[in-house]
Structure 1
Amino acid sequence: MSNPENLFSTILASTVHDMKNSLGLLLDAINTILTDLPKEKSSSEYGIVQYESSRVNNSLMQLLALYKIENNQLPFTPGYHNLYDFIEEQILANQPLLEAKKFSYTIDIDEMHEAVFDDSLISMAISNILGNAIRYTHSQILISADIGEEVCITICDDGPGYPGPMLELAGNYMIGINQSTGSTGLGLFFAQQVAQLHSHGEKVGKIELMNGGPLGGGVFKIILP
């Protein structure tokens, strides 16, 4: 007889996959409508609708990826990628929300820097963190990267910073559920799991949260060996 927990997980994963496909079609339709919409008729609300739809889709993709990680089914395909181009792609994915809120951003990364990582997984992690930074910041986002023995991608904002209880979780992000705010900790937990898939020798990837930084708000770091 099948394990009930395994059966439930399989059904849940299948349902999430179906929801993701349906939402993908909805996103395509929204993007087509917005592309055809005259500039003078566009508004910030359209950008927010576009972003929020993408955010739900990204959350579903993260859930599926976590299911595959748990069952050793997730393809892991690291390769060389230009860091500036990669981060610029993540900014473009969040452009609707940036424009809707009239926020500015800076990419402080050498355009020649390359690093080895799984771009599809890191893309999901970075896009989610960027989206949250844009939602809670006041007006500015700064994305930088340092390359030495490790690759460190840093996202800073000028918002109120991460709340104390979240900083105290120190890696146990899935216990950071807050029903009053709707926070599930999924984005941080996913970023942590993706970082840990990247290893070199005895070194394993990780994420770090802090407050302060050059813009005085929240600081997110994903560090890959």
Structure 2
Amino acid sequence: MNPVRIAPSILSADFARLGDEVRAIDAAGADWIHVDVMDGHFVPNISFGPAVMKSVRGMTTKPFDVHLMISPVDAYLDAFAEAGADTITVHVEAGPHIHRSLQHIKVLGKRAGVVLCPGTPAKMLDYLIDMVDLVLVMSVNPGFGGQQFIPSQLKKIAAIRKMIDASGRAIDLEVDGGIDPDTAARCIDAGADALVAGTAVFKDGPHGYAANIAALRGQ
């Protein structure tokens, strides 16, 4: 398994100084920059669109890990690809044609990811595992930061780890929601190799980012 990657979610950053925040988490040791895009329809919150993401793309060379919590999603894939996404992750629950979405992400030359909400079983990946580069397990119901980790997702993470290992493909297994040093360790033990964290990274201001990221790695 690859060493755990930490992807701070800029949803928890100070929006008044978003470019500086992206530079700060880069310097603090972030592996990816996680971009949570919410539409107020698929999830009960609105965050930002491709123009805001594009405005901070030049602040770092780290990969942009873009999680689209929007429905319908297909009409927006090109815009986020053009704005600088490296991985584009879409929900199986967001529309009836998940294969079409994943195929188009590939056509755009981006890594394709698929997301499962807490109530969605791992078996939903049975006919998708051969075409994804990343699986994202939501360990909270998407829409807001600062929620409590749902422990039942550990069983799902372990099940998906077995599916990935059996596939023989290099697929990242990412977890998002309620991640702190304790739940991070539990997710890694279950098989996760990438973790999204918002509050746990940004809570102490820029002087604390490096220590917070290290703590999520168990260092």
Tell me the TM-score normalized by structure 1.
0.26
Q: Name the structure where helix makes up a greater proportion of residues.
A: 1
